Amino acid sequence: MEIQLWREILDPYVLAVDELTVKFRHIIEEYRKMGEYSPIEQVDGRVKTISSILEKAQKKQVDLDEIEEKIEDIAGIRIICQFVEDINRVVDIIKKRTDMYIKSEKDYIANMKPSGYRSYHVIIYYTVQTLGGTKEIQVEIQIRTLAMNFWATIEHSLQYKYKQNMPEHIQSRLTKAADAILCLDQEMSEVRDEIMDAQNSFKIKAKIVADILTNIQNLYKIANKRDVMKIQDEFFELYETNDLEQLERFAKELDIISEGYRAQSLW
Ligand code: 0O2
């Protein structure tokens, strides 16, 4: 096939990778703006090289005119997460979208490959608009943790170096490394719960403190200044202790006090 024809075929794939990269990166931004944890840590994309497409077509015995249908990963997006639990959240995000729909899924996390490879693959159909009209193409989305990605990147370059003849001792080291990566991901999942708890109690505390400060500020307008300063000192003391329960109790008491003053000021 002429190089110009390849360009025409691959152009929509380049567009799809560009668009999808922007869309998934925007999701990270949306989470950050809401002050929430993003299940997506990082997004990359690539279009397979012509030689890699031809190599895969030969290996899978795919005719040239069937390449676009049978080689599902000409366009590829890689989504990296911090924790294994984030992967399902990302899959759910993809499932809810209306600008792409899922053709198939492969769960190499529940079913690790014999090589030790772990990742979640989703093949989607995605429509791009070009001057030539609309075109629906297939895109492979690989979703994996930082640790899984580390292992896959190293293993991929070793596979490239040794082709089919990976020495036994390297193969066995890779298997050991895959076990270590599995443990690492499990350890990180334990930490994840703690991070989530910390983030949660931080948000609750910030809300209580904001309510207390608003109440104190309003009291200055209607109550005896010396009384309000006493309340304020009490709050500062309590704030130092970092005791969430006591802060909650204080906020409720302050609500009642404020209500009393408001009722008085109406007279
Ligand atoms: P590249 O160079 O990354 O593009 P199938 O017929 O479905 O079994 P297929 O289409 O290869 O075969 O699907 P599969 O097995 O899901 O693999 C798709 C891609 O996942 C691969 O693309 C790799 O990117 C990645 N992958 C799969 N297995 C391994 C593995 O053992 N190690 C590493 N490092 N990556 C893996 P390509 O085209 O093989 O490679």
Contact between 241 and 229 under an 8 Å Cβ cutoff? The reply is: no
Q: What pLDDT, on the 0 to 100 scale, is given for residue 130?
A: 93
Q: How far is the CA of 23 from the centre of ligand 1 (A)?
A: 24
Alpha carbon separation from 141 to 29, 75, 219, 236 (Å, rounded): 19, 9, 56, 51
CB distance 118 to ligand 1 below 6 Å: no
Which of 47, 50, 73 has most ligand 1 atoms within 8 Å of its beta carbon, as the pocket-test mutant? Answer: 73
For the chain, what is the radius of gyration of the CA atoms?
28
At 53-68, the pLDDT tens digits run 999 999 999 999 999 9
At 7-51, the pLDDT tens digits run 899 999 999 999 999 999 999 999 887 878 899 999 999 999 999
* Whether residue 195 has pLDDT greater than 80: no
| Alpha carbons 197 and 108: distance in angstroms, whole number | 29
Burial of residue 128 (number of CB atoms within 10 Å: 0-12, 13-18, 19+) = buried
Q: How far is the CA of 267 from the centre of ligand 1 (A)?
A: 77
| Alpha carbons 18 and 130: distance in angstroms, whole number | 13
Amino acid occupying residue 64: L
* Of 147, 174, 175, residue with least CA distance to 161: 174
CB distance 89 to ligand 1 below 6 Å: no
| Closest residue by CA, ligand 1 atom 27 | 117
DSSP, collapsed to helix, strand or coil, labels residue 98 as: coil
* Whether residue 206 has pLDDT greater than 70: yes
Q: Which CATH superfamily is domain 3-167 in?
A: Beta Polymerase, domain 2 (3.30.460.10)
| Alpha carbons 247 and 77: distance in angstroms, whole number | 46
Q: How far is the CA of 121 from the centre of ligand 1 (A)?
A: 10
CB distance 21 to ligand 1 below 6 Å: no
pTM of the entire predicted model: 0.78
* Mean pLDDT computed over 137-154: 96
Average pLDDT of the chain is 92
Annotated catalytic residue 234: no
| Closest residue by CA, ligand 1 atom 26 | 117
Q: What pLDDT, on the 0 to 100 scale, is given for residue 37?
A: 85
Q: What pLDDT, on the 0 to 100 scale, is given for residue 172?
A: 92
At 241-252, the pLDDT tens digits run 888 889 999 999
User: Which DSSP category does 251 fall into?
Assistant: H
Owner of token pair 């403190």: 209
Number of H helices, E strands in the chain: 8, 5
| Alpha carbons 247 and 243: distance in angstroms, whole number | 6
Contact between 76 and 67 under an 8 Å Cβ cutoff? The reply is: no
Residue 267's pLDDT band (cuts 50, 70, 90): low
Can you state the angle between helices 225-241 and 244-266, rounded to 10 degrees? 170
Q: Which of 2, 140, 155, 259 is catalytic?
A: 140
| Alpha carbons 185 and 183: distance in angstroms, whole number | 5
Percent of the chain with pLDDT over 90: 71
User: Which DSSP category does 111 fall into?
Assistant: S
Domain with CATH 3.30.460.10 in the chain: 3-167
Q: Tell me the residue length of the chain.
A: 267
Q: DSSP E strands: which ranges in 82-237?
A: 100-107, 120-130, 133-145
| Alpha carbons 186 and 30: distance in angstroms, whole number | 28
* Whether residue 129 has pLDDT greater than 90: yes
